[in-house]
Amino acid sequence: MDMEELGDIVELFKEEVTERLSRIEDELVNRDGQDIELIYREFHTIKGTAQMLGFENYSKAAHRVEDVVKPLWKQNLSLPQYIIPRLLKVLDIFREKLGKDLTQEDLEKIEKILSGQEEEKVAEEKSYVIEITTELDEKLIEDAWEFAKKALFHAFRNYYDDKELFENLQAVTNSLREIYWRLQTIPLKDVLRGFDRLVYEEATREGKKVRFELDTSDVRVKKKIASAIRNALVHIVKNAVVHGIEPPQERINLGKNEEGIVRISSWVEGRKIVITVEDDGKGIDFERIKEKLIQMGREVPQNEKELVQIIFDPFFSTKEKADLGGGRGVGLSSVKTFIESAGGSIGVETEKGKGSRFIIELPSTKVWEKVMILRSGISTYAVRILDVKNVKLYEGEENCIPSGQFEVVLKNGACYRFDTKVVEGEFVVLENPFKIFDNVAFWIDFLGMPIPVFKS
pLDDT digits (tens, 9 = 90+) for 241-254: 998 999 999 999 99
Comparing 80 with 404, the larger pLDDT belongs to 80
Amino acid at the residue 437: F
Task: State pLDDT tens for residues 147-180.
Answer: 666 665 666 555 556 667 666 666 666 666 677 6
Task: State pLDDT tens for residues 28-71.
Answer: 888 877 888 888 888 988 888 888 778 889 989 999 999 888 88
415: enclosing H helix or E strand: strand 415-418
Q: What is the mean pLDDT of the chain?
A: 76
Break the chain into its structural domains and give their ranges. 3-115, 138-187, 192-363, 368-454
Task: State pLDDT tens for residues 86-108.
Answer: 898 899 999 888 878 899 999 98
Query: How confident is the model over 365-394, as a mean pLDDT?
Result: 70
Residues 6+ apart with CB under 8 A from 430: 367, 443, 444, 445, 450
Q: Dump the DSSP string for 127-159.
A: --------SS-HHHHHHHHHHHHHHHHHHHHTT
Residues 6+ apart with CB under 8 A from 277: 233, 236, 237, 240, 262, 263, 264, 357, 358, 360
CA distance 304 to 309: 9
Helix axes 195-206, 8-31, angle to 10 degrees: 40
Q: Dump the DSSP string for 54-70.
A: T-HHHHHHHHHHHHHHH
pTM: 0.61
196: enclosing H helix or E strand: helix 195-206
Fold of 3-115: Four Helix Bundle (Hemerythrin (Met), subunit A) (1.20.120)
CA distance 15 to 233: 28
**Which class in CATH covers the domain with range 192-363?**
alpha beta
Question: Tell me, what's the pLDDT at 447?
Answer: 45
